[in-house]
Amino acid sequence: MTVALPNPAPSNDFDQERFRRSFPDLVPRILAEWPEVDELALSAAAGDVDATVALVAGRTLHSKALVRRHLAEILDLDVPARSRIGSRLARVLEALEATVGPLEAEAERVASDVSRAVEDAESEGRALVRDARKQVDAAEHTMRGNFWTTVFVTLGLGALAGFLFGRRHGRR
């Protein structure tokens, strides 16, 4: 019976670019997995897979192949969580876009209605002011043209008011 042993050689399919991009997020996981590794030395590796493998293997006395496989596992563990979060964010974003579109249209319609109402109110106000000025001008013109009539009408109204109020207060 032959037992297949894992290949201790470095894997050629290790995604070095993804490792480099994810390195800042992986540093805390690497330090938690291998506390013997110095954080400054790890940061100096700057996302280089080979330098990181050599550093961890040198500090932990693990083989480079084992460290490389373990780093690949840590990197792969990071992917599903991010993809779940990414898909959730995508769904939330789609829902927001579906909600925002109609709200924007409604807001534009309301803003247009308010703008029209303000313009109508301003127009009505200007028309009322014009009409009031015309009526005041017409009343002034009438009073000036019929000055004596205005004086006599005012005196007559005053006398009538005096007569009516005088009768009510006991003068009979």
pLDDT of residue 172: 53
Q: Find the domain containing 69 and state its range.
A: 16-95
Give 8-55 pLDDT, tens digit per residue. Answer: 444 445 678 888 888 888 888 888 888 888 888 888 888 888 888 898
How many beta carbons lie within 10 A of that of residue 117, not counting itself?
A: 10
Please check whether residue 46 lies inside any domain of the structure. yes
The answer to whether the pTM exceeds 0.85 is no
Domain count within the chain: 1
Please check whether residue 81 lies inside any domain of the structure. yes
Please check whether residue 165 lies inside any domain of the structure. no
Beta-carbon contacts of 57 under 8 Å, excluding residues fewer than 6 positions away, are 63, 64, 66, 67
Place of tokens 């100096």: 44
Please check whether residue 23 lies inside any domain of the structure. yes
Please check whether residue 100 lies inside any domain of the structure. no
Please check whether residue 76 lies inside any domain of the structure. yes
